[in-house]
A and B are shown apart, each in its own frame.
Chain A
Amino acid sequence: MAGGNQGTLRLLERLDQPGASGGLCSIQAAAELGVDHQTLVGAVKSLQALGEVIEAEARTATRWELSPEGEEVLRDGSPEVRLFRSLPEEGLPQGEAMKLPGGSLGFSKAMANKWVRLDKGAPGGPRVLRAVPSVQDTVQEHLGQVRTGGAQAVPERDRSELKRRKLLLEMTLKSYWIRKGSAFSTAVARPETELTPEMIATGSWRQLPFKPYNFSSLGLPPACGHLHPLLKVRSELRQIFLEMGFTEMRTDNFVESSFWNFDALFQPQQHPARDQHDTFFLLDPAEAPQLPPGYYNKVKKVHSQGGYGSQGYRYEWKVEEARKNLLRTHTTSASARALFQLARQKFTPVKYFSIDRVFRNESLDATHLAEFHQVEGVVADRGLTLGHLMGTLRQFFTKLGLILIPSGLKKWVEVGNSGVFRPELLLPMGLPENVTVIAWGLSLERPTMIKYGIKNIRELMGHRVNLQMVYDSPMCRLDV
């Protein structure tokens, strides 16, 4: 590229010289500058691309060149002359004359020129004899003229003859007539596309123009990995809880006993949610080997007889029902375990959260999956009120960016549930009587679908996910 620019620069300088005001022929200029004509044409074209730096008018010129045979003739003479000059005074039999330099081609040309004659009646067969005392090699002379650039001086008839004899070649040459343009400047040269290490090393970038970038096209996508959009929302929600001072609960057991999933939460054993219809029960391991001793008796009592100020449900509570294993239907079972652990120690106020998978034996459709993620927040402290629950919810949902209902959507969108845990749930665990526990839960999928405008939950979770969607999904900033 640097060489090319060098050519461009020299052409511009040549044009700038006095005497070139009328213009230059590109062929001539190439000869003067000592560069190949094609190189010069390249320079012309790149200058044209810059606008009005030069004017270049395309021309077609004819040039005569010697063919390889022509070069031979120029060096050795034409075949007819060579034949004539090697023919002895007394002549030669035709057969031998053919073997002379120039050969049969020289013979036939010399015959046509009437430089030699054939004595057919000579004794011993036809004999070739000189017909003129001397000859001049005009072919060689003409070729010599062409060679030195004087093709125009050779009569046109002779040139055609030499062309026919394939000694001369007629070349068509596209050339340009170059003049200064309206925006002429010797400073203009073809812009560089990229900065190179050489330019930096030599400092040549200071003088060089650079081709402008096309900023309207897209760049090259980087080769990279991607995080799943739903899990990006999970990270954001973890962050929100952490910002609000909530500690993460253990949720690493998809398998749960009915005891923790239902009974501990004071859900009666005949509750519709405990139907086979809604819950995945387990064949193996069908039952939980251990229920918390002591505590489970208290749970049994509060269900069947009441206590702690409660009437209870007054039914026959069955331990077999509580042992039935299932895939947890909510992470509230994990919250119950966390609160049970909390009750083992001297009470200190806590704020807990979890985000993990839960399972429902539901019919699948565009908004329901057999498994999804539940987000749960729990606050346990003395003297908490419904107002505190609502205040916490407002704070949380504001951070989620879900407080502002889009205009036009008049109806509230139900995204979750919230409430105050019942004393029948807390007191059997051993939590102090004046401790209130407020909690709320929502699915991770619902706000994600609202936020990203996803209509079908199956596009979001599971193996049928569209990876292109994963590749293209934006980062998650719920409050923006």
Chain B
Amino acid sequence: EFDELCFEFGLELDEITSEKDIISKEKGEEKAKGASDVVLYKIDVPANRYDLLCLEGLVRGLQVFKERINLPRFEKIIPAEGEGQRLIVTEQTAQIRPHAVAAVLRNITFTKDRYDSFIDLQEKLHQNICRKRALVAIGTHDLDTITGPFTFTAKAPSEIKFKPLNQSKEYTASQIMDLYRTDSHLRHYLHLIENKPRYPVIYDSNGVVLSMPPIINGDHTKISLKTRNVFIECTGTDITKAKIVLDIMVTMFSEYCEKPFTVEAVEVVHPNGKTHIYPELAYRTEKVKPEYINKKVGISETPSSLAKLLTRMCLKSHVTGNGNHLEIEIPPTRADIIHACDIVEDAAIAYGYNNIQMVIPKTYTIANQLPLNKLTELLRLDLAAAGFTEALTFALCSQEDIADKLGTDISATNAVIIANPKTAEFQVARTTLLPGLLKTIAANRKMPLPLKLFEISDIVVKDPNADVGAKNYRHLCAIYYNKSPGFEIIHGLLDRVMQVLDVPPNEENGYTIKAAEGTAFFPGRCAEVFVKGQSIGKLGVVHPDVITKFELTMPCSVLEINIEPFV
């Protein structure tokens, strides 16, 4: 039933499990002993629905969807002049983490579950919209332990000294970095500030460190179940995302304040003296024509019915004018709604995808094949008919495969080089199909001889004239592997390929082969293929060194040509 509800709401119930199940799957049953049996529902949430990342938001969303409650209206309370909290941003932050926003949750009541959810939401936001704290980092503090105004500045690591969260003594910022170098969690964030001359830091008016974003909070301001007033700051490099994150934090947890859904504003003072009041908690109104929604979805609902559907999706809507418009209020929880098309999507979800009538478009078109692919398809059939079997090898390989092993230097290959390969198998894009076929034979040495393989696929070379600086070429490569090299067989295959391409064997308007050299070929057993005087590739007996380097033992001959001139 819950599965169905999730589906209706546009979510996917991924798995029903328990902590015990998870641990036992990952680490074995032994370790799972004593773990919780409480049933866990794992739900896949769309990446941009930050309002569904915690139980509070998800339950609220589903309740509104089922029309059990109305979407609460979030209210920003601006304290009287001089009574509110202020966060002063200094110009030193500009070079490292220029943006900061903040808000206060007054008279909140935590329970164990609420507290856990509060911590968990911060972690999920950090991993998601905050891009592992690179864009935004969240700090939450017990306001009653500190005194404003607060200062967000940046200082040399040696000048920062405080007791980090859950530590027993004070460390300098440099020491903190060393302390967390092996921390399974925090070590992933150190690189964000590590090599900077100044680290970001937030102080209260008495010099108490609230946090050193994006690494760690101070222990002094640690919140507990007894905390009543929470100071939330978000610092970052992307102001839009910082504002969204703050809005999400306060809209999710203001529910537990004495006056539910109210948030106390904080004034942020910028280095240039300008001030901003946060959280924004902005409500935006979009006007959309009902027929726009109907036409995009393929339904014909009345304006009032559409308004009702959208309201169920937390987009409070009503019909205006003479029924020609819908006015839709986008709440601060729905930062994902950035265009009318997002409203259309929510209307479709609420309507139910399964209820939309499937229609085949009347779009009338004449199909065309890409000439290069059509040629490839035809050639594949003729090569198989000639007794050769098709291989399908990787376009990525090691530098060795296309250079050292073929007796040439990587600089001579003009190959595209990958910056961040995880293994040596993916260092470059191939410049020839030959290594792939040789590796295919090496992996199939048990098969009866002869082995006759081919592949028609793309290779890649650098090309400064191409818009991206590199270009594909469609190659045809064939190999004959047996107790004798069988040059005449590969030569015969070339003749056959030319025959089916209707290219006659003559120099002026057909093809010829001329003695040539190639590092991959046995000296004197290599020829270059010319079509109308233009070189399109080579054929020959593979050099014994190449055979050995690819862990093969038998002689073989190969043909590799570019087929693009035949399109």
- Residues of A whose CB lies within 8 Å of any CB of B are 223-228, 230-231, 235, 238, 241-250, 252-257, 270, 272, 276, 280-292, 306, 308-315, 325, 327, 349-351, 357, 359, 361, 363, 370-371, 379, 381, 383-388, 390-392, 394-395, 420, 422-424, 436, 460-468, 470-471
Contact = CB atoms under 8 A, between A and B. Distances in A.
B558 interface: no
Nearest to A337: B467
Given A310-B339, A422-B339, A436-B296, A391 B387 contact: no
B397 to A, nearest CB: 9
B447 A468 contact: yes
Interface in B418-435: 418-422, 425-426, 429
Nearest to A223: B387
Contacts of B443: 463-465
B365 A424 contact: no
B391 A463 contact: yes
Contacts of A253: 466, 468, 470-472
Contact of B469 (A235, A246, A325, A363): A325
6 contacts: A225-B387, A281-B418, A325-B470, A384-B361, A386-B298, A392-B361
Given A225-B389, A257-B468, A285-B469, A385 B363 contact: no
Contacts of B283: none
A165 B126 CA distance: 117
Contacts of A392: 360-361
A370 B364 CA distance: 37
A357 B418 contact: no
B392 to A, nearest CB: 5
B418 A466 contact: no
A283 B421 CA distance: 10
Given A325-B469, A349-B365, A388 B298 contact: yes
B94 to A, nearest CB: 14
A240 B356 CA distance: 25
Contact of B387 (A224, A350, A381): A224
Contacts of A315: 238, 240-241
Given A242-B367, A350-B365, A371-B395, A287 B469 contact: yes
A390 B356 contact: yes
A41 to B, nearest CB: 42
Interface in B373-393: 373, 377, 380-381, 383-393
A467 B445 CA distance: 10
Interface of B: 47, 128, 131, 134-135, 238, 240-241, 295-299, 338-341, 348, 353, 356-361, 363-370, 372-373, 377, 380-381, 383-396, 416-422, 425-426, 429, 436, 439-440, 442-444, 447, 451-452, 454, 458, 460, 462, 464, 466-472, 474
Nearest to A230: B392
Contacts of B353: 386, 390
A245 B107 CA distance: 64
Contact of A245 (B47, B128, B367, B419): B367
Contact of B390 (A225, A349, A461): A225
Contact of A254 (B383, B395, B420, B422): B395
A312 B338 contact: yes
B416 A381 contact: no
A466 to B, nearest CB: 7
A350 B363 CA distance: 7
B469 A327 contact: no
B439 A325 contact: no
B468 A351 contact: no
A286 B454 CA distance: 32
Contacts of A350: 363, 365
Contacts of B356: 386-387, 390
Contacts of B360: 388, 391-392, 395
Contacts of B469: 255, 285, 287-289, 325
Nearest to B401: A463
Between B416, B429, B469, the greatest number of chain A beta carbons within 10 A of the residue's beta carbon is seen for B469
Contacts of A288: 467-469
Contact of B419 (A227, A283, A310): A283
Between B135, B367, B458, the greatest number of chain A beta carbons within 10 A of the residue's beta carbon is seen for B367
B372 A252 contact: yes
Contacts of A383: 295
B365 A289 contact: no
B131 A272 contact: yes
Contacts of B363: 349-351, 379, 381, 384
Contacts of B422: 361, 363, 370
Given A252-B372, A289-B468, 16 more contacts: A225-B383, A225-B384, A227-B380, A227-B390, A252-B458, A253-B472, A270-B131, A272-B47, A272-B131, A280-B419, A311-B338, A359-B395, A370-B422, A387-B357, A390-B358, A391-B361
A365 B413 CA distance: 30
Nearest to B473: A252
Contacts of A325: 468-470
Contacts of B128: 272
A246 B388 CA distance: 31
Contacts of A371: 394-396
A81 to B, nearest CB: 71
Contacts of B386: 225
A471 B425 CA distance: 27
A256 B240 contact: no
Contact of B361 (A241, A314, A388): A388
A250 B458 CA distance: 13
A241 B439 CA distance: 33
B467 A289 contact: yes
Nearest to B238: A315
Nearest to B440: A463
A269 to B, nearest CB: 10
Query: Which 7 A/B pairs are nearest by Cβ-Cβ distance?
Result: A387-B298, A385-B298, A285-B469, A463-B439, A225-B384, A255-B470, A391-B358
A224 B452 CA distance: 10
A102 to B, nearest CB: 68
A227 B416 contact: no
Given A226-B384, A282-B418, A395-B360, A462 B296 contact: no
B338 A310 contact: yes
A224 B382 CA distance: 11
B396 A359 contact: yes
Nearest to B372: A252
B432 to A, nearest CB: 14
Contacts of A289: 464, 467-469
A461 B392 contact: yes
Given A270-B131, A315-B238, A391-B360, A463 B442 contact: yes
A387 B355 CA distance: 10
B390 A470 contact: yes
Contacts of B238: 270, 315
A226 B416 CA distance: 31
Given A225-B383, A465-B391, A247 B462 contact: no
Nearest to A468: B447
Nearest to A247: B368
A370 B423 CA distance: 10
A309 B339 contact: yes
A389 to B, nearest CB: 9
Contacts of B436: 463
A312 B339 CA distance: 8
B498 to A, nearest CB: 18
Nearest to A462: B394
A306 B442 contact: no
B439 to A, nearest CB: 4
Contacts of B366: 245, 247
B390 A228 contact: yes
Nearest to B472: A252
Nearest to A224: B387
Given A238-B373, A388-B361, A392-B361, A424 B339 contact: yes
Contact of A257 (B135, B298, B348, B467): B467
A235 B377 contact: yes
A104 to B, nearest CB: 67
